Amino acid sequence: MTALAAEDLVLSCAGRVICGPLSFAVATGTTVGLSGPSGAGKSTILRALVGLLPPAIVAAGRRTVLGVEVGAAGVDLPALRSRAVLVGQTPVVFPASILANATFGVRHVVRASRAELRRRAEAALVEAGLWDEVADRLDAPASELSVGQRQRLCLARALALDPLVLLLDEPTSALDAAATATVEDAVAGLAGRRTVLIVSHHQPQLERLCTQVVTVAGTSPAERSV
């Protein structure tokens, strides 16, 4: 079963091709890495998969996520994004409490009681490896957290939606070794239950976490198995 796939995906900006053509398929429940040099368009590919491309960038080719063809007319993109969640490279926390950040997506998508939302947020914080550090101050402003904690809070915000697919853009770029290990543990814990696509330029990390790595290199993509 394929969770997400790209066929001859080409991204271009003002007529200039920035990456592709690229084809890959990610099977349900697997963890796949996307590697390549800086500026190869890895992050932009993740955005293309959920229809969050900057207006200047145009995507050609088929992108299929959870059976939905992204870019086709009449697609309910918000609904898709709540099942295939993108976690950006720079951790964006909203000016609200830690708890409110963790429930930010889920409270819009799911009709649930306050207690139920809180339970899901707590479970997500545990899964993201942040729970022990924030359990006693869930109502504190999220802006008090360190960058590494914010990155895991963003992961928790995505996990609270209980998504089938996670798209992680450089999830450990801002972290020190200890925090990186925590996030890697969290991602490894997702294996089997969720489909994960990770962008990273840190090859050893991808080899630790992924069953397969897709290399994006300018316009000549290569695929190899680990």
Partner 1 sequence: MGVVLVSIVGYLIIGLQSGSVDWGRLLTSSVWDAPSGQFGALSMIFGTGVVAVIALTLAAPLGWAAAVAVHELAPPRWRGFLRAGTELLAVVPSIVYGLIGIAFLRPFVAELADVPGGDSLLAAGLVLAVMVLPTIVAVSTDALAGVPAGVREAAAACGLKRSEVIRDAVIPPARRAMGAAALLGLARALGETIAVFLVVGRADGRMLDGVGDLWNRLVRPGQTLTTKLNGPESILAGTAGDHWAALCALGLLLLAAVVAFTVIGQREVRAGQGGRPRRYRARSGGGGAPRWRRGRDRVTRGALTAAAVAPLVLVVAVGGVILTRGTAALDPGFWSSESVGASGGGIRDQLVGTGVLVLAAGLLAAPVGLALGLVIAEYARPAVARWLRSLTLMLGGVPSILLGLWGYWLFSTRLGWGKSWLAGAIVLAVLAVPPVAIAVAAAVVELPGERREAALANGLRRSQLVRSVVVPHALPGLLTGLLLGLARAAGETAPLLFTAAIFSGARGLPDGVVDAPVSALPTHIFTLAQDAGDAAAGDAVWGTALALTLIAGLLVLAATPARRRLEAR
Name residue, tokens 């770029």: 173
Distance CA 80, CA 133 (A): 31
Q: What SS3 state is found at 47?
A: helix
∠ CA 150-38-211, rounded to 5°: 75
* Listed ranges 15-23, 104-112, 125-133, 177-185: which one lies at the site for partner 1 (CB under 8 A): 104-112
Residue 207 φ then ψ, to 5°: -65, -30
Element (H, E) at 120: helix 114-127
Residues in 77-96 that interact with partner 1 by CB under 8 A: 78-83, 85-88, 90, 92, 94-96
| Residue 159 touching partner 1 (CB under 8 A) | no
Q: In the set 16, 38, 73, 114, which binds partner 1 (CB under 8 A)?
A: 114
Identify the bridge partners of residue 13 per DSSP, sorted by sequence position: 16, 57
Measure the CA–CA gap between 182 and 152, rounded to whole angstroms: 9
- CB-CB neighbours of 170 under 10 Å: 21
Say whether residue 157 binds partner 1 (CB under 8 A). yes
Question: What value does the CA radius of gyration of the chain take, rounded to a whole number of Å?
Answer: 17
DSSP-H helix ranges across 20-71: 42-49
**x/- letters, 121..150, toward partner 1 (CB under 8 A):** ------------------x-x-x-------
Q: Which is nearer to partner 1, 161 or 213 (CB)?
A: 161
How near is the Cβ of 207 to partner 1 at its closest, in Å?
27
Site string for partner 1, 4-43 (x = CB under 8 A): ----------------------------------------
Residue 153 as a binder of partner 1 (CB under 8 A): the answer is no
Complex with partner 1: residue 22 or 161, whichever CB lies closer: 161
**205, exposed or middle or buried, with CB in 10 Å at 0-12, 13-18, 19+?**
buried
C-beta of 216: minimal distance to partner 1 in Å? 20
Q: Which of 97, 211, 212, 219: binder of partner 1 (CB under 8 A)? A: 97
Q: Name the minimum Å distance from CB 160 to partner 1.
A: 9
Residue with tokens 């991204």: 11
Residues that bind partner 1 (CB under 8 A): 47, 50, 52, 55, 76, 78-83, 85-88, 90, 92, 94-97, 99-100, 103-112, 114, 117, 139, 141, 143, 154, 157-158, 161
